[in-house]
Amino acid sequence: MRDPFVVVGGDAAGLSAASKCKREDPDREVIVFEKGQWVSYAHCGMPYFVKGEVDTLDELLSLSPEEIDERGIDLRRGHEVLEVDTEAETIAVDGPDGRFEQPYGDLLIATGAHAVTSPIEGHDLDGVHTMHGLDSAAAVRAHLLDPDEDALADMGGEDFVDRDLVERYGRMDPPETVAIVGGGYVGVEMAEAFVAQDLDVHLFQRGGHLVPPFGESVADVVESELREQGVTLHLGEEVERLAGSEQVDRLVCKSGDALDLDCALVGIGIRPNTGIVEGTPIELGESGAIAVDDYGRTSVAGVCAAGDVAEMRHAVTGEPDWVPLGLTANRAGRAIGQSVAGDSEPVGDIAGTAVLKAFDQECGRTGIVDEKRAREAGFDPVTETITSRSRSGYYPGAAETTVTLVADRDSGRLLGGTIVGTDRAAIRIDILAMALEEDATVADLERADLAYAPPFAPVWDPVLTAAKVLRGQL
Amino acid sequence: MRDPFVVVGGDAAGLSAASKCKREDPDREVIVFEKGQWVSYAHCGMPYFVKGEVDTLDELLSLSPEEIDERGIDLRRGHEVLEVDTEAETIAVDGPDGRFEQPYGDLLIATGAHAVTSPIEGHDLDGVHTMHGLDSAAAVRAHLLDPDEDALADMGGEDFVDRDLVERYGRMDPPETVAIVGGGYVGVEMAEAFVAQDLDVHLFQRGGHLVPPFGESVADVVESELREQGVTLHLGEEVERLAGSEQVDRLVCKSGDALDLDCALVGIGIRPNTGIVEGTPIELGESGAIAVDDYGRTSVAGVCAAGDVAEMRHAVTGEPDWVPLGLTANRAGRAIGQSVAGDSEPVGDIAGTAVLKAFDQECGRTGIVDEKRAREAGFDPVTETITSRSRSGYYPGAAETTVTLVADRDSGRLLGGTIVGTDRAAIRIDILAMALEEDATVADLERADLAYAPPFAPVWDPVLTAAKVLRGQL
């Protein structure tokens, strides 16, 4: 199909698609509309920018607007797409010069997600942050600086950043006590960042454990680690409201417990930005994200969706799922760009593989590790957890490594797993991710000829030991 | 079958089999004959004992004779098995009280391998070492000590070690210049050990590259690393002889080049200890190791073989191969022990997965990476090498990581791969080992949902990047 390939959203999925399409079909017109100023940036690097390990915002950009231009992509920043008309095959765009209609030949919706802050009352007070988008990261870092430091000059990103926001937070006194609301990825990573900045850090989690997608065996280790690093955990505490006159100064839980503070970070989840498909025939899936097929196509011909706004098929259940992660967005975008250019490429399945640094603990998870979830998907889950060493016991640096594996009793199929430890633990989750991609059984995993050398792994890698024990239970 | 389960050889394969059999069938009589004094020790830990990172020989023992006794295994150290009579189902044993015949019900040959030293003339001079068995490691460490130190007291293992050998080397002056003959695993690991002991280290390799099983892309990095660490490499230099009156003092190459030295370590390979099957109907494979089936059974009923003395089936070629490594021995031994106890268990295939620490570089290899070898096995190999980063570029510690993948052009099947880098590189080889276990294609690998988080991996892990590039060539 000719006419332009129009992409809504200038981050991982959108620009991967635009770049791949242009590379495969250089004559195709490719237009990318981005509501904000930032494009192609590394969400996952933001906590390390606040921590101070990444010096400037610019370092978090994968591509500059100039590089995007060099690829022949027509990037329009500051252009918000308001509506999609799938009949007319046009979108309504609100740009710096007003509203206009843009026809499309192929359309990719890659509008991403937004941070949830409700139902927490007071989330709009000064000093209450989220960690979603580089402006939010810039605001947190400006808040941490002394007012006499020049926040704007020090953090880079001058051409893009919300200067008013940064300057406003730059003028505030740096906080001493921060409450993190939510104990998922963002909460744990930001706890590390705030501890590095010498704040008194309190983390509130509604449920009984941190990092729920990693299951209890990982959560136990992460919780111990955070406490050892000086974070005060408030588990099983639901935050009701944040209070203050203009700037936040108090947090109140449903239990009645309260904390005086001068900064809060809310990380209780994200939701897909599906606003522009409301009222169109483009269907959402059960998760609330846009439903797509194996090629990222929505229910309307010519319209694809990818990244945090779209569902993907789960490799284990075979069902649509919504697990918004970086590689998924990049890969789906790239595949759609290739397909749009004429060479059909599936977007691939996801296994929900994720890794997380919790201070010195490396955590990994993949597949289905929650037994309830496994049963809902029609499996009869069996779970085993083992703890062994990351290296030969006599070799310096051998560290306790805990592996949990879940398998289906009847078929012996591996459904998922988690890992936690301080020595090369996280990257080992990729062994399981590869196994899931191949629908491997626990017996297959147990037989895999994995690496052994004293500095890197014991004779029986912790993953093999876990497989051996789990297979004994099947 | 009743009557004793007799095991020849008290290391990884032998004791894994004995232990598993006893655990599954506690009433079965299990006898292990071991020629020497050492049992169940970690070969791969020896370089680190010489380096000084492992303090005592005892730390390298997986099981003490007492623990073996507690398992109900009848362990007879100092018993050499001389002959097998497969007709009579007996073995001839030379023990401390003389020679005797031992009947067996099931027999496991787990006699391991020995270090090759010929055709190098002068290999029996004082000061010429190998690294095979704890006595050889003890001799090297004793040699490195000042004569006024008590070698025996410092290194442990008093109950087992060859005291005469240790005392003899303990009396010698410590060497200043050492030549390592052979640039494989042992040579590279011992280079690190000798550099740590402040020796002037020269490494001689007959071929043009170190670590041939890892291919050129890894060898290039390893060679640079060794040179940077102060090792003098002599590549393409075949050593003809070691010379000296009683103690070695000179090395002479076929090229005529020579080096004055006071110590040499020969690590030019190992060969299976198949002596006891000579003259029996037990067949050897093409490799010269004992041929076995999927259950580790030799060509003679009731006789199994496992560990460094036996072949195994290669997961990629489906053909017998001889790749003597630690996990293989442990796994095959364990499976045979289980089968002997009545619950048949295959020994599994091998992929030749190996990892190697070369100072700060972590190296890994698995499967078939040599194109000639791949063609001999009936494949049409395509190879790609990429270098990318181990983490997000902006995250501290991101290190160059080089991945080579080999695939079959027609089927797209992954045949093997290598990896080298300083940041969690080696353990990533397990992703490929898992893929080989499942006969995965390069497309499968490219689609795997691998981990991404800035501290651990970039969005596209180096393994995925390599798969992407290789798939583009298929």
Map B81-126 to HEC letters: EEEEECCCCEEEEEECCEEEEEECCEEEECCCEEECCCCCECCCCE
Instruction: Examine the domain organization and report whether B106 and B143 are in the same domain.
Output: no
Domain termination residue (choose one: B280, B305, B340)? B340
Considering only CB atoms, B53 lies closest to which of A396, A427, A428, namely: A396
Please give the average per-residue pLDDT across A298-312, as a whole number: 98
CA-to-CA separations, A35 to A58, A76, A245, A290, B271, in angstroms, rounded: 19, 8, 32, 19, 68
pLDDT at A154: 84
Chain B residues lying within 8 Å of A394, measured CB to CB: 42, 45, 48, 54, 59-60
Do A394 and B54 count as a contact with CB atoms less than 8 A apart? yes
CB spacing of A449 vs B330 below 8 angstroms:
no
Q: Are A309 and A8 in contact (CB under 8 A)?
A: no
**What letter represents residue B467's amino acid?**
A
Q: Which helix (H) or strand (E) holds A178?
A: strand A177-181
Interface contact B59-A394, CB threshold 8 A = yes
Contact yes or no for A430 and B445 at CB 8 A: no
- CB contacts < 8 Å between A and B, how many? 209
pLDDT at B7: 98
Please give the distance of CA A182 from its chain centroid, rounded to a whole number: 14
Residue of A nearest to B57 (CA): A394
Question: What is the tens place of the pLDDT at every residue in A54-76?
Answer: 999 999 998 888 999 999 999 99
Q: What is the arithmetic mean of pLDDT over A367-392?
A: 97
> Would you say residue A110 has pLDDT above 70?
yes
Q: Assess contact for A321 and A287: CB atoms under 8 A.
A: yes
CA atoms within 13 A of residue B42's CA, in its CB half-sphere:
28
Q: Please state, as a whole number, how many other Cβ atoms lie within 10 Å of the Cβ of residue A154.
A: 13
B225 and B319 share a domain?
no
Helix, strand or coil, per DSSP, at residue B31: strand
Q: Within this chain, do residues A95 and A150 fall inside the same structural domain, yes or no?
A: no
Question: Higher model confidence: residue A299 or residue B62?
Answer: A299
CA distance A432 to chain B (A): 8
CATH number, position A264: 3.50.50.60
Cα dist. A158→A58, A78, A138, A264, B333 in Å?
9, 16, 11, 25, 64
Q: Which of A449, A459, A471 is the best residue to mutate to test the B interface, defined by the most B CB atoms within 10 Å of its own CB?
A: A449
Q: Do A264 and A276 lie in a common domain?
A: no
CB A411 within 8 A of CB A381: no
Cα separation, B178 vs B191, in Å, equals 9
Report the alpha-carbon distance of residue A53 to residue A51 in Å, rounded: 6
Which of the residues B43, B134, B434 would you substitute to probe the A interface, choosing the one with the greatest number of A C-beta atoms within 10 Å?
B434
Q: Are residues A257 and A325 in the same domain?
A: no
Phi–psi pair at A454, nearest 5 degrees? -45, -40
Q: Is A363 considered catalytic here? A: no
* Of the candidates A165, A80, A91, the residue with the CA atom closest to the CA atom of residue A130: A165
Residues of A in contact with B348 (CB under 8 A): 447, 449
Cβ neighbours of B436 in A, within 8 Å? 449
Choose one of A293, A311, A340: the last residue of a domain.
Answer: A340
Model confidence at A3, pLDDT cuts 50, 70, 90, reads confident
Which of A434, A442, A445, A446 is the best mutation test for B, with the most CBs of B within 10 A?
A: A434
Judge whether A71 lies within some domain: no
The answer to whether the Cβ–Cβ distance between B454 and A42 falls below 8 Å is yes
Distance from CA of A437 to the nearest CA of B (A): 6
Task: Out of A113-122, A430-439, B322-331, pick the least confident.
Answer: A113-122
Closest-CA distance of chain A to residue B336, Å: 14
Residues A150 and A249 in one domain: yes
Are both B450 and B434 inside the same structural domain?
Answer: yes
* Same domain for A18 and A101: yes
B220 to chain A, closest Cα gap in Å: 21
In a domain, residue B71? The reply is no
ipTM of model: 0.96
Q: Residue A323: closest CA among chain B residues belongs to which residue?
A: B449
Closest Cβ opposite residue A430 in set B431, B436, B437: B431
Chain A residues with CB inside 8 Å of B366's CB?
449, 451
CA pair distance A155, A143, nearest whole angstrom: 12
Least confident of A40-44, A386-390, B270-274: A40-44
Confidence (pLDDT) at A464: 98
Annotated catalytic residue within B44, B253, B263, B304: B44
**Residue ranges of chain B with per-residue pLDDT less than 50:** none
User: Does the beta-carbon distance from A449 to B433 stay under 8 Å?
Assistant: yes
Locate the chain A residue with the closest alpha carbon to B346: A447
Give contacts of A429 with chain B, Cβ < 8 Å: 451
Instruction: Take residue B472 and report the two structure tokens written for it.
Output: 């583009």
| CA closest to A326 among chain B residues | B459
Task: Name the residue range of residue B182's domain.
Answer: 128-268
Question: Angle CA(A257)–CA(A263)–CA(A265) in degrees, nearest 5?
Answer: 85
Do strands A80-85 and A90-95 pair parallel, antiparallel, or not at all (unpaired)?
A: antiparallel
Query: Smallest CA–CA separation between A364 and chain B, in Å?
Result: 8
> How many of the other CB atoms lie within 10 Å of CB of B91?
23
Q: Please state, in angstroms and rounded to a whole number, the distance separating the CA atoms of residues B460 and B431.
A: 14
Nearest to B395 among A45, A350, A392 (CB): A45
Query: For A312-326, what is the mean pLDDT?
Result: 96
* Residue B264 shares a structural domain with residue B294: no
Flag if B327 and A53 touch (Cβ within 8 Å).
Answer: no
Q: Residue B422: list chain A partners with CB under 8 A.
A: none
CB contact under 8 A, A431 and B431: yes
A360 to chain B: nearest residue by CA? B455
Average pLDDT taken over every residue of chain A: 96
Q: Are residues B145 and B228 in the same domain?
A: yes
Q: Which residues of A touch B389 (CB under 8 A)?
A: none
Instruction: Kindly report, residue by residue over A225-270, the tens digit of the pLDDT.
Output: 999 999 999 999 999 999 999 999 999 999 999 999 999 999 999 9
* Count of structural domains within chain B: 3
- Output the six-digit token pair for B360: 């700060």
CB contact under 8 A, A427 and B428: yes
Residues whose CB falls within 8 Å of the CB of residue B234, separated by 6 or more in sequence, listed in order: B202, B203, B204, B205, B253, B257
Of B44, B53, B330, the CB nearest to A453: B44
CB atoms B431 and A434 under 8 Å: yes
CA dihedral B281, B285, B290, B296 (to 10 degrees): -100
How far B230 CA sits from the closest chain A CA (Å)?
Answer: 21
Q: How near does any CA of chain A get to the CA of B301, in Å?
A: 25
The verdict on a CB contact (< 8 Å) between A351 and B48 is no
Instruction: Supply B343's token pair.
Output: 């619950």
For testing the chain B interface, which of A188, A430, A438, A474 should be mutated: the one with the most B CBs within 10 Å?
Answer: A430
In a domain, B56, yes or no: no
Q: For residue A364, which residues of chain B lie inside 8 Å, CB to CB? A: 451
| Residue A351 belongs to some domain of the structure | no
Inter-chain contact B428–A433, Cβ cutoff 8 Å? no
Domain closes at, from A253, A268, A283? A268
Q: What is the pLDDT of residue B2?
A: 64
Residue B194 counted as domain residue: yes
pLDDT tier at A2, thresholds 50, 70, 90: low
Per CB-CB distance under 8 Å, the chain B contacts of A12 are 459
Which one of A327, A355, A455 has the shortest CB-CB distance to B357? A455
Tell me how far apart the alpha carbons of residues B413 and B429 are, in angstroms, rounded to a whole number. Answer: 17
Q: Please indicate, yes or no, if residue B346 is contained in any of the structural domains.
A: no
B55 within a domain of the structure (yes/no): no
CA–CA gap between residue B335 and residue B347 (Å, rounded): 5
Same domain for B326 and B278: yes
- Both B368 and B423 in one domain: the answer is yes
Give the amino acid at A220: D
Determine, for residues A444 and B428 on separate chains, whether the beta-carbon distance falls below 8 Å. Answer: no
In a domain, A390, yes or no: yes
Chain A: give the shortest CA distance to residue B406, in Å.
17
